[in-house]
Amino acid sequence: MTTTDSENICRRLVGRTAVITGAASGIGLATARRLASEGARVVCGDIDENAGNAAAEEVGGTFVRVDVTDPEQVEALFKTAFDTYGSVDIAFNNAGISPPDDDSILTTGLEAWKRVQDVNLTSVYLCCKAALPYMRRQRRGSIINTASFVAILGAATSQISYTASKGGVLAMSRELGVQFAREGIRVNALCPGPVNTPLLQELFAKDPERAARRLVHIPVGRFADATEIAAAVAFLASDDSSFVNATDFLVDGGISGAYVTPV
C-alpha cells in the first residue's frame, strides 16, 4: 500500500457533518478527534461548557451547549449543525451518565431511575427525532446510538436503570434502522465493553478490587481505550459500513462471547 492509499483510507468523512453528544469527554471526545481527522466537520454538543468548547476548538469544529434531555436544546443542536455546515450526515448520540445512586433495584429510588432514563434513553429518542428530518431530506445519514454491552449481558453488580436504558437504546436503534433503511439512513447501536474513561474510572477503575472483579471476564484482559471505540464509530459513520444497519455493534474485547477467559 502506498502512502497515498493509506491517507485516503483515513479520510473517509470529507464533506460530512457530524453531530456528537457528550463530546467533551471520554468516548465522545475521542470520537470528535477521530471523525475530524477523517475529514468530518464536527459539532460538539455537551452540557459542560468549558470542556466542550475546548474539544470543539481542538478539532476545528463548533461547540453547542446542550442538555440532551431538553427537546428544544436538542433541536437547536442539529439546526446549528445544518445552518453552519449545510448538512447533517452523522449523528453520534452518545451522552450518558452512570451515577452512584443507580444501583440494585432494591435500593434505587424512582428519582434516580428517572434521571438515568432521561439522560441515557429519552435523549437518544430526542436526538434521533431531531436528526432524522435532515437525513430524510438528504436521503443519506448514519445514526450511531451509544448503548453498552450491559444491554445484552446481565451483571450481578447491578445498575438497574442504566442497564434498562441501554436495552432501550438498542431496541430503539434496531427499529429505526429498519424503518428508515430505504431512505438511505442507517441506524446502529454501538455496544462498547468497559472503556477507560472518567465515567468508568469514577465507577471502579481506580479501585483495584472492583476493577479486578470485572477484568477477569474480559478475554483481552484490559479495559478498552476510548480511541478503540472511536475507530468503530468512524467505521459506522463511513460508507465502509454501507451494509451494516440495525445492529447491536459490539466492541467489547470478547466479553459477550466468553465463558472461561485465559489466565
Binding site for ligand NAD (CB under 6 A): 21-22, 24-28, 46-48, 66-69, 94-98, 119, 146, 148, 192, 194-195, 197-200
To ligand NAD, the closest distance from the beta carbon of 232 in angstroms equals: 12
CB of 148 to ligand NAD, least distance (A): 4
Q: CB 10 → ligand NAD: shortest distance, Å?
A: 23
Our CB check for ligand NAD shows the closer of 53 and 69 to be 69
Q: How far apart are the first and last CA of the chain?
A: 37
Closer CB to ligand NAD, 101 or 183, in the complex: 101
Query: In this structure, which amino acid lies at residue 246?
Result: A
Query: Is position 162 annotated as part of the catalytic site?
Result: yes
CA distances from 90 to 129, 161, 237, 257 (A): 14, 27, 6, 29
Between 199 and 237, CB nearer to ligand NAD: 199
Nearest to 142 by CA among 7, 11, 17: 17
- Of 85, 134, 162, 259, which is the active-site residue? 162
Q: Which one, 42 or 199, has the nearer CB to ligand NAD?
A: 199
Half-sphere exposure at residue 238, Cβ-oriented, CA atoms within 13 angstroms: 22
Give every strand in the sheet of 90-93, ordered side by side: 62-65, 41-46, 17-21, 90-93, 141-146, 185-192, 248-251
Q: Is 90 strand, coil or helix? A: strand
CB of 94 to ligand NAD, least distance (A): 5
Catalytic site residues?
A: 162
